[in-house]
Structure 1
Amino acid sequence: MKVYEAYLDIETTGLSPIYSDITVIGIYLENSEDSIFIQLIGDDITPYNLSYIMEKVHTIYTYNGSRFDLPFINAKLGINLEDYAFHEDLMYRCWKRGLYGGLKKVEERLGIERKLKEVDGRMAVILWYKYIRHNDINALRLLLEYNKEDVMNLKILKEKLYSF
């Protein structure tokens, strides 16, 4: 039985799945009774682990996920998440309301708060390599916090988009 909505965002080492890897998959699962935030990191990013999480999901929400996150996951893990659940890319709902740009720009226009203003996708790559090459746990913590903020802000964005 599919009982959860999922908000999903990935971090990668670059823009091309041919030359890059997924470093973090952040997923917030929610239903009327409970919620859980999950992050798959590095070697924990496997087809089995992701499939196991997605088995109970009926709807996946992303921002630009139809052009980036889902194709990247499919290329790297061989999993088409749309085989598991309905996917709504919130970017297109934003476009219908005249809200263009990346997630952070849309958040700013809608008054969605962001604590980590200095971290972006490029910095996420740097943080990953600091962690991998120098065992910098603080870099990993910051990367995971950034990913979590992206994921949790998807929920806020969806709520705002559905309210007007």
Structure 2
Amino acid sequence: MKKYEAYLDIETTGLSPIYSDITVIGIYLENKEESILIQLIGKEITSYNLLYIIEKVHTIYTYNGSRFDLPFIHSKLGIDLEKHVLHEDLMYRCWERGLYGGLKKVEEKLGIERKLKEVNGRIAVILWYRYTKHNDYNALNLLLEYNREDVMNLKTLREKLYGF
């Protein structure tokens, strides 16, 4: 029985799955009884681990996931998530309401708070390399916090778009 709704965001070393890797997969699982944030990091990012996490998921929500997150996951892990779960890309729901731009720009327009205003996708790549090349756990913690904000703000965005 698939009982969770999930919010998913990935961090990568670049924009092309051919030349880049997934560094973090953040998934926030939620139902009426419980919620949990799971972050797969580096070598934990396997098809087995991802499929295990989503086996009880009914719907996954992303922002630009149709064009980035899901194709990247498919390319790197061989998993077409849309064959396992329903997927809603909130970016298209935003477009229906005249809200264009990246997630951060839409968050600004809707008044969704973000603590790590200075961190973006480019900085996320730098943080990953600081962690992997210099064993910098502060960089890893900042990257994970950035990913957590992205994932949790997807939930807030969905609530604002659907009015609940």
Tell me if TM exceeds 0.5. Answer: yes
Question: Residue 108 of structure 1 aligns with which residue?
Answer: 108
Cα deviation digits, residues 9-61 of structure 1 (max 9, x gap):
00000000000000000000000110110000000000000000010000000
Asked if 1:125 corresponds to 2:125, the answer is: yes
Q: How many residues align?
A: 164
Question: Residue 71 of structure 1 aligns with which residue?
Answer: 71
CA displacement at 1:84 relative to structure 2: 1.2
SS in 1 for 2:61: strand
> For the residues of structure 1 that align with 2:37 and 2:10, how far apart are their CA atoms?
13
Structure 1 vs Structure 2 CA RMSD: 0.7
SS in 1 for 2:58: strand
| Unmatched 5+ stretches in structure 2 | none
Question: Residue 163 of structure 1 aligns with which residue?
Answer: 163
Give percent identity, aligned residues only.
82
Amino acid at match of 2:47: P
Asked if 1:90 corresponds to 2:125, the answer is: no
CA displacement at 1:122 relative to structure 2: 0.2
SS in 1 for 2:143: helix
The TM-score, its normalising length taken from structure 2, stands at 0.99
Question: Residue 35 of structure 2 aligns with which residue?
Answer: 35
> For the residues of structure 2 that align with 1:97 and 1:69, how far apart are their CA atoms?
22
Q: Point out 4+ residue stretches in structure 1 off by more than 4 angstroms.
A: none
Amino acid at match of 1:38: I
Question: Residue 47 of structure 2 aligns with which residue?
Answer: 47
